[in-house]
Amino acid sequence: MIDPNAVKQLREKTNAGMMDCKRALIEAGGDPEKAEAILRTKGIASADKKSSRATKEGIVASYIHLQGKVGVLIEVNCETDFVAKNEIFRDFVKDITLQIAAAQPMIVTRDQVNPKLVEAERTIYRAQMKDKPPAIVEKIVEGKLDKFYGNICLMEQAFIKNPDLTIKDYLSSKITELGENIVIRRFVRYMIGEDIETAASPSNHSAIIE
């Protein structure tokens, strides 16, 4: 017998459906950590299956924070107008605008980062550890790069409302919940007094994207 409170707690932590949480707990023998891992694996797999489906609907949303000092504009796409009007989808989009305002990502995914910038970061990291064995250096460099990506890439950031989830995890849970592919297409974040180049849209941010 699965404790309803355990199901509720797992749902709050993962954003998965109640029945999915219950099934995961049963499969995990009641272990909440194993159940969470099961849900994430299934959620990512489900999202991956839908990732090739066209997303021609969606919304453009905005968020203004700190009495007009910070603003976010974002486009999030889905497959149908029905989902675009769904409250769950719109709450998800709102959460992402809050994330961008607070965590200040520069791009959506790491494949948008200019390879020249990545190589420049590698060079800096290697120079910082020039006295260490090469094999160890490369492992440390890759770890530092992962942290670098985690700071600037929206999809790799910890979700501010639930740091146990990345934005990619959160997105995957909504794809599973709504049954449609969802794509965070693009965003721009403005802040009063910020240099115009750093406030520019990611699609125009020459320091990050080719």
**What domains does the chain contain, in order, with CATH numbers?**
4-50 (1.10.8.10), 57-111+153-204 (3.30.479.20), 114-149 (no CATH)
- Which of 63, 59, 61 is CA-nearest to residue 191? 63
Query: Who wins on pLDDT, 43 or 172?
Result: 172
Against a cut of 0.85, is the pTM above it?
A: no
Task: Give the pLDDT score at 77.
Answer: 96
Question: What's the pLDDT at 44?
Answer: 55
- Dist CA 165 CA 205 (whole Å): 27
Is the predicted pLDDT of residue 196 greater than 90, yes or no?
no
pLDDT tens string 94-142: 999 999 999 999 999 999 988 998 899 989 998 888 888 877 888 898 8
- Whether the CB-CB separation of 74 and 94 falls below 8 Å is answered with no
pLDDT tens sequence across 4-56:
888 888 877 776 767 778 888 898 888 888 888 887 776 655 555 666 677 88
| Distance, CA of 158 to CA of 177 (rounded, Å) | 20
Strand partners, 58: 77
Residue 62 has pLDDT above 90, yes or no: yes
Which comes out higher in pLDDT, residue 204 or 187? 187
